[in-house]
């Protein structure tokens, strides 16, 4: 069983719609959770981080975490064609207390396409 699982997609949504991306993880010791956006040929870019159960909103992005269900999601509202990318879910077993989050375990990524 993979440690971090995502639907590989592709997920296609019309411009202006809500895109919903999901991720499950197997290690109950995971403390920190991240969503990255990666354009082709580029490094991942951090979009959201979340550490406690519930929702966290930042602009058009909302991350949701449910540790009991070992589930984390990302909602993108008012999706734009520029949001078309691969979205990577990552987890770390190190909490936010230190300066380093240690190694990250990534899911396989979900390809999102936003069409005009």
Partner 1 sequence: GAVVSQHPSWVICKSGTSVKIECRSLDFQATTMFWYRQFPKQSLMLMATSNEGSKATYEQGVEKDKFLINHASLTLSTLTVTSAHPEDSSFYICSDGVPAFFGQGTRLTVV
Could you list the residues that contact partner 1 (CB under 8 A)?
Answer: 32, 34, 41-44, 46, 49, 88, 90, 92, 99-109
CB of 40 to partner 1, least distance (A): 10
CB of 86 to partner 1, least distance (A): 9
Name the residue nearer to partner 1 (CB basis): 39 or 78: 39
Name the residue nearer to partner 1 (CB basis): 18 or 46: 46
Note whether 36 and 88 are within 8 A (CB).
Answer: yes
**Whether residue 10 has a cis bond before it, omega within 30° of 0:** yes
d(CA 97, CA 60): 27
Determine how many CB atoms are found less than 10 A away from the CB of residue 105. Answer: 16
């Amino acid at each position: 069983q993979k440690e971090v699982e995502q639907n590989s997609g592709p997920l296609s949504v019309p411009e202006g719609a809500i895109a919903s991306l999901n991720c499950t993880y197997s290690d109950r010791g995971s403390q920190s959770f991240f969503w990255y956006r990666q354009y082709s040929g580029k490094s991942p870019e951090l979009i959201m981080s979340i550490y406690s159960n519930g929702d966290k909103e930042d602009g058009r992005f909302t991350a949701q975490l449910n540790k009991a269900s070992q589930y984390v999601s990302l909602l993108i509202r008012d999706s734009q064609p520029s949001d078309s990318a691969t979205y990577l879910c990552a987890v770390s077993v190190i909490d936010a207390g230190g300066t380093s989050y240690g190694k990250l375990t990534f899911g396989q990524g979900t390809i999102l396409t936003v069409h005009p």
